[in-house]
Chain A
Amino acid sequence: MSIDQSTAAKVAKLARIKVEDDALPALASEFNTILGFIEQLNEVDVDGVEPMVSVTPMRLKRREDVVTDGNQQDKVLANAPDAREGFFAVPKVVE
């Protein structure tokens, strides 16, 4: 399978990473190198093999469905690039 420039542009868009048009050919070529390497997996017979979900066979722990923390708005916002009036501020989303 070969990735062309428009596929590379689509992947960049899905990943929300801005890639300039002139960088797309090199990006597509790198993808093809890596995917070419990955293609080796097609040699393996995986019929009837379950995809691994958890590497250690353990049952996840359960706990009571209760509040464990909270009331730390200042701490939550402390590292925000733009926090105003107790909220994260972002560019206008709704017209």
Chain B
Amino acid sequence: MTELNTLGLAEARDLLRKGETTSVGLTEACLNAIENAGALNAFVHKTPEIAMERAQAADARIKAGDAPSMCGLPVGIKDLFCTKGVESQAASAILEGFKPEYESTVSQKLADAGAVMLGKLNMDEFAMGSSNETSTYGNVVNPWRRGNDDAPLTPGGSSGGSASAVAADLCLAATGTDTGGSIRQPAAFTGITGIKPTYGRCSRWGIIAFASSLDQAGPMTKSVRDAAIMLEAMCGHDPKDSTSADLAVPDFEVMLTGDIKGKKIGIPKEYRMEGMPAEIEQLWADGTEMLKAAGAEIVDISLPHTKYALPAYYVIAPAEASSNLARYDGVRYGHRAQLSQGDGITEMYEKTRAEGFGHEVQRRVMIGTYVLSAGFYDAYYNRARRVRTLIKKDFEDVFAQGIDAILTPATPSAAFGLGEMTDADPVQMYLNDVFTVTVNLAGLPGISVPAGLDKQGLPLGLQLIGRPWEEGDLLNTAYALESAAGFVAKAGKWW
């Protein structure tokens, strides 16, 4: 018999409905897997009592024939989501001990859909990072290794705990958030599926803010079908987020027909980066062939401003972060520094923020402060926002030509070793998001699908980018790609 924690959402749901397993059984299997996976450092606040309580309630609902879409399915929640009465600290020391008095809309929607919360997942501090090395809880370790080499690898970031936990079967699925690639890059590094929906699909209310015009929540799952199920439960209009879209949420799962005949798939020439590993290039070509064989029409396209997406992002995201993170002042929640005799309120702010924020967060807050400061606002911030308009127009132009989806690599490499980038300058780390960040700037939906292994045995992902609000169609194209790629590899258990 398959161990219950290794199931995906759809399989577990079907077994539950048939009465062949119970939510309590699934939840116990996951809690047990979590207990034995300390080496991955994925779960940082465990909530077994909440989990068992919700699992029992779910079993009762299933028995009564009143089961909502995710009834009884155990999931992990990224630490960025505020969860009532449970530590929520965005992996930052500045929110040490913070227990929200309220629940984020997305985690509430999941609870309403019957999902069982197992605990909170590690991440980069305030979601700022691409390797999960900036967390106050320490690094997350990728369950995948290079062949027989036991050097620990990054699961990617910032949703690294979510990625590692799903890939290692500690939960059936997890929530992530994506500001520049933080769902799609770790999904690719760990051989799982991750979708960032259109900006406005998921409410941001109760998600600790990084860059508000870019942040979106999304599911990280073991299959495209699971992504469809969980995304539907997570999204929908919320009056508490003024940017949340008042649009009907379709049934994404029934849209998974696998039929993509006649769909136009764009291949953007600007994503063919200098120095891109041959294996990534090959994977991309293979993915293109798979979609073609499934009946799609392949079209070469151009997104001319691609090169400027990362520099624009590294103005806009830090600018918004410097404003959002101004609230951490040692007054209302979290850490406050010990003050010396004669220290006033300014010293309290400065010492609190120096002690509470890690290095990368401090750097980004200060860059943001600089680009917004008097005399530089126009030259940096306004220019970046103009470039962002052009980047979005690039996509609008190709969609106007009839392109249905765009295929690109998800990342410029496979997972790298923890610590390998320590001596690199910050820009080298930022390059991890080169294929994903355009999608956030344009507000589009993007999905990463595992598509192959490199010669060291590490997973590689492909990204599909869709039209705004057409997640259903995008998921269907991803489903066709997933079926053709037939990726079934799992990390060998060493932890």
Q: Do A and B bind each other?
A: yes
A: residues with CB less than 8 A from B are 3, 8, 11-19, 27, 30-31, 33-35, 37-44, 46, 49-56, 58, 60-61, 63, 72, 75-76, 78-82, 88, 90-93
Say whether A93 contacts B388, CB under 8 Å: no
Q: B331 contacts A55, CB within 8 Å?
A: no
Docked pose: A92 CA to B345 CA in angstroms: 7
Assess the B370–A11 pair: CB atoms within 8 A. Answer: yes
Residues on B with beta carbons closer than 8 Å to the beta carbon of A91:
339, 343-345, 347-348
Can you spell out 20 A-B residue pairs with CB atoms less than 8 angstroms apart? A11-B366, A15-B362, A15-B368, A16-B326, A17-B365, A18-B350, A33-B427, A40-B307, A44-B305, A50-B389, A51-B385, A55-B388, A56-B243, A61-B242, A72-B101, A79-B98, A79-B99, A79-B100, A82-B336, A88-B331
B residues bordering A, Cβ < 8 Å? 97-101, 198-200, 213, 239, 242-243, 245-246, 305, 307-308, 310-312, 314-315, 322, 326, 329-336, 339, 343-351, 353-354, 357, 362-363, 365-371, 373, 380, 382-390, 392, 425-427, 430, 441-443, 468
- Those 8 A-B pairs whose CB atoms lie nearest each other, nearest first: A55-B443, A51-B385, A81-B336, A79-B333, A46-B386, A18-B350, A18-B354, A75-B101
Q: Are B315 and A56 in contact (CB under 8 A)?
A: no
Q: Which residues of B contact A3 (CB under 8 A)?
A: 370
Among candidates B349, B368, B443, residue contacting A56 with C-beta atoms closer than 8 Å: B443
Measured between beta carbons, the chain A residues less than 8 angstroms from B365 are 15, 17
Cα A72 to Cα B380 in complex, Å, equals 41
Residues of B near A88 (CB, < 8 A) are 331-332
Is A90 a contact partner of B386 (Cβ separation < 8 A)?
no
With A56-B199, A79-B98 in contact, is A38–B370 under 8 Å at CB? no
Determine if A14 and B373 form an interchain contact, defined as CB atoms under 8 angstroms apart: yes
Closest to A47 in B: B386
The residue in chain A whose Cβ has the minimal distance to the Cβ of B393 is A49
Query: Which residue of B239, B388, B390 is within 8 Å of A63 (Cβ)?
Result: B239
Instruction: Tell me the bound Cα distance from A31 to B218 in angstroms.
Output: 32
The number of inter-chain residue pairs (CB within 8 angstroms) is 167
Q: Is the interface of A mostly helix, strand, loop or mixed?
A: loop
A40 touches B243 (CB 8 A): no
| Chain B neighbourhood of A72, CB < 8 A | 101
> With A15-B365, A17-B365 given, can you name 19 additional A-B contacts, CB distance below 8 Å?
A12-B366, A16-B329, A30-B426, A31-B370, A33-B427, A34-B363, A34-B426, A38-B315, A38-B384, A40-B308, A40-B311, A44-B308, A49-B390, A55-B443, A56-B199, A76-B101, A79-B101, A81-B335, A81-B336
**CB proximity of A14 to chain B, nearest CB, Å:** 5
Contact partners of A51 in chain B: CB under 8 A: 382, 385-386, 388-389
How far apart sit A40 and B384, CA to CA, in the bound complex (Å)? 10
CB-based contact B362/A44 at 8 Å: no
Q: Let me know if B426 and A79 touch, CB within 8 A.
A: no
* Chain B residue with the shortest CB-CB distance to A50: B389
Q: Report Cα–Cα, A81/B352, bound state, in Å.
A: 11
A7, closest chain B residue (CB):
B370
Provide the residues of chain A in CB contact with B382, threshold 8 Å.
51
CB distance B373 to A11 under 8 Å? yes
By a CB distance below 8 angstroms, the chain A residues around B99 are 78-79
Complex Cα–Cα for A72 and B102 (A): 12
Residues of B within 8 A of A38 (CB): 311, 314-315, 371, 380, 384
- Closest B residue to A45 by beta carbon equals B390
Q: Please, which residues of chain A bring their CB within 8 A of the CB of B343?
A: 91
Which residues of chain A are within 8 angstroms of B371 by Cβ–Cβ distance? 38
Given contacts A34-B427, A56-B198, A79-B333, contact A16 B349 (CB under 8 A): yes
- Please give the distance in Å from B95's CB to the nearest CB on chain A: 9
Query: A92 touching B344 by the CB < 8 A rule?
Result: yes
Complex Cα spacing A82 to B443, Å: 40
Chain B residues in 8 Å Cβ range of A18: 347, 350-351, 353-354
Residues of A within 8 A of B242 (CB): 60-61
- Closest Cβ–Cβ distance, residue B239 to chain A (whole Å): 7
Among A12, A16, A49, the one with the most B-chain Cβ atoms within 10 Å of its Cβ is A16
Q: How far is the CA of A9 from the CA of B84 in the complex (A)?
A: 39
- Are A11 and B351 in contact, CB atoms less than 8 angstroms apart? no
Q: Check B331–A80 contact: CB distance below 8 A.
A: yes
